[in-house]
Amino acid sequence: MKLTFATRPSALARWQTQWVINALQKIHPNLECEEKVITTQGDKILDKPLPEIGGKGLFTQELESELLSGSVHCAVHSLKDLPVENPAGLTVGCIPARAEVRDALISANGYTIATLPEGASVGTSSLRRASQILSLRPDIKTESLRGNVDTRLRKALDGQYDAIILAGAGLTRLGLDQHVTEWLSLDVMLPAPGQGALAIQCRADDQTTLSLLAKLEDESTRKCVTAERAFLSGLGGGCAVPVAAYAVISDQSSVISLTGLVISEDGKRAVKVIGQGTDALALGKHLADKAIAQGASEILKLITVH
């Protein structure tokens, strides 16, 4: 049996795909796997901020097209980049155990959020991160930061920004976490829905691939990210809006605890909701409705493209 995986060209995407391949081959020793590298629109357009490029599936659409055409069996995504709705005919075949969920601050001068000088420049590709930083430090300037993890890190270490913020999972996976100046606590920086988790997408009718992937599934991670993404979906948001969500499941029970956040671009207005439940989809939807009742829709309507 042979599986072909679609992957983006970045070092992180290749690492993630290779991790999935290695994990599958440990479970299925006779399984042959190969990669097909595909460049997405998000990989090509590097001179504009992500929200300005717009559109869902910026880093996933081309990979999904390869799946639908039948030229590959699977595509490995960072779950936070994957739109909440699968295209017809595709499904998320498995979600392995989640890695680091926190964001990390990197500064060549060793600054932390608290010690950044007034007017400091903080690079980020995410409205969610920029908004939460501005809520803490309205005196600093957030600036667009594009490129793969290696490129962004180099810009920080070269001093092009006073600090940058990146997802911790990418840094730990690439063995670059020694550069982290400050791990941002979840009280300071709530992650994107699905952050730290991988999603292996395949065709919904491909039972052979689905059965192979099933052994990598982590049920707790699936429930948590389903709740987070249901919150995002309930708000009508995509990957580029300043919406954050994080869920955990108690070891002693099957109760999911979900925290959701909608925050304005300037960080001055925020709606934070917290809830518990055993049905991930229902919990996410309930908290989205609760956030909307508290003014989340008005905040999202004011989001502008620069």
**Active site members:** 81
Q: How far apart are CA 25 and CA 44, in angstroms?
A: 32
- List Cα–Cα distances, 281 to 18, 51, 166, in angstroms: 31, 27, 28
DSSP string over 204-263? TT-HHHHHHHGGG--HHHHHHHHHHHHHHHHTT--TTSSEEEEEEE-TTSS-EEEEEEEE
**DSSP string spanning 47-103?**
SS-HHHH--S-TTTHHHHHHHHHTS-SEEEEEGGGS-SSPPTTEEEEE--------E
